[in-house]
Every structure is written in C-alpha cells, then in structure tokens.
A and B are shown apart, each in its own frame.
Chain A
Amino acid sequence: KQEVTQIPAALSVPEGENLVLNCSFTDSAIYNLQWFRQDPGKGLTSLLLIQSSQREQTSGRLNASLDKSSGRSTLYIAASQPGDSATYLCAASASGTYKYIFGTGTRLKVLA
C-alpha cells in the first residue's frame, strides 16, 4: 500500500533563501509523482509532474527531482518570495494505478 510522507511539516524562512522540500513514498511502482501548491481555502495548483521514466522537471524557480529506487522526491525553490507562502503537497500514484496518494504537506511561510 502506497504511503507518502513529507518533511518538514512546516517551514519558515526569510525572503531570498533557497529551500528544499522532501517527499518520501513507500512503493516505487509509480506512474507519476506530482507536486502541488495549495493556498488557504483554495484548490490545488499543479506545479510539476515527474513521470516514472524522468529524473527531474524544472519550471522557473522550481525544480523537482525523483529517485524511484530510494522512494524520494525533492522540490527545490530558488530565491524564495513571500508569494511562495502556501502548503506544498506531493502526490504519488498508487501501485499500478493512476490514483494519487497525497503526502502530509509542508506549510511554507516566506517572511518579507
């Protein structure tokens, strides 16, 4: 059974810092791993999708990596800004299916 955890649960950093969010999953037989952002009271905004055959994806200041053998993914945010403050969720597909199992989330606060 796929289980997904995220570390840290919460993070507070000054503006401009580079930071890394971690995601671990127990079953490496995934199709996709996807990172999302969620603002308070809102839905999900897709940030990056990494397919099982890929090692990383980049979009602007965001870079996500995937290591299936170790069951880990990291989201790297460069030069953080107050507007990056949100909850970040990773989701990994369950074994042999397209349904997603979500991680516990990291609440990020970037201080001006």
Chain B
Amino acid sequence: GAVVSQHPSWVICKSGTSVKIECRSLDFQATTMFWYRQFPKQSLMLMATSNEGSKATYEQGVEKDKFLINHASLTLSTLTVTSAHPEDSSFYICSAPGLAGGSSYEQYFGPGTRLTVT
C-alpha cells in the first residue's frame, strides 16, 4: 500500500519558538493532504486541508496564522506551528488520499508527530 511519512516523529520546543512538521507521500503524488490534531485521550480533529499550489483550507476554530501550511510539491506538505505555547502540545497526524484499487481512494496516514512545548 501507499506510504506517508512524517518528520520529525517527536519534537520538544520552548514556548515562543516555531516548529515545522513535514508530511511526505513516498510512493504516490498527493494534490491534497490533511492535517489532524489529537489531544491526550481524545479523538483526531481535522485541522486543515492542504492543497498543492494553493492556499490551505482551515476548519472552523483553527487559527491559520498560527498553523501555517505549505504544500509546495505533489509529495510534501509542511505544517509550521508558530509561536508555540504549551497548549499546542499535541499529536499531529497527516494523511493523503491515494488509490486503493480501481478508481477508489483510501486515506493513508502518517505515523504522527508528537509535539511538546515547554
């Protein structure tokens, strides 16, 4: 099946700094990728849709100036958490739709990035 990778797998940063998380589709192209956030003991919440070559679409309540998304190529989307604060500590997961057989699509998920802001 298709593979999506994320880097880094975990990161610790100080409050006020910015952190960049990469999401790559390794063996397929993705014009669209999705970013999710998961707080401890909660489910995944969709943050935004990353669109190759155009602006990302953010879900209601997600600050687009705080969570900068860039999708500069068909295999790479980046999420930058700007001026991070402890409440931004979370598990960030990306996904990309890829062919699952025939003309149907399946969401392939990255392994996630655990961000801790001290």
Contact = CB atoms under 8 A, between A and B. Distances in A.
A49 interface: yes
Task: Label chain B's interface by main secondary structure.
Answer: strand
Interface string B78-118: 00000000000000010101001000111111111010000
Interface residues of A, number: 22
Contacts of A34: 106-107
B11 interface: no
A98 B93 contact: no
A97 B45 CA distance: 16
Contacts of B32: 98
Given A98-B97, A99-B49, A89 B109 contact: no
Contacts of A97: 49
A96 interface: no
A75 to B, nearest CB: 15
Contacts of B105: 31-32, 98
B44 interface: yes
Interface residues of B, number: 22
A28 interface: no
A43 B112 contact: yes
A102 B44 contact: yes
Interface of A: 31-32, 34, 36, 41-44, 46, 49, 51, 89, 91, 97-105
Given A44-B44, A46-B106, A98-B107, 14 more contacts: A34-B107, A41-B114, A43-B93, A43-B109, A43-B112, A44-B112, A46-B108, A46-B109, A51-B100, A89-B44, A100-B34, A100-B46, A102-B36, A102-B46
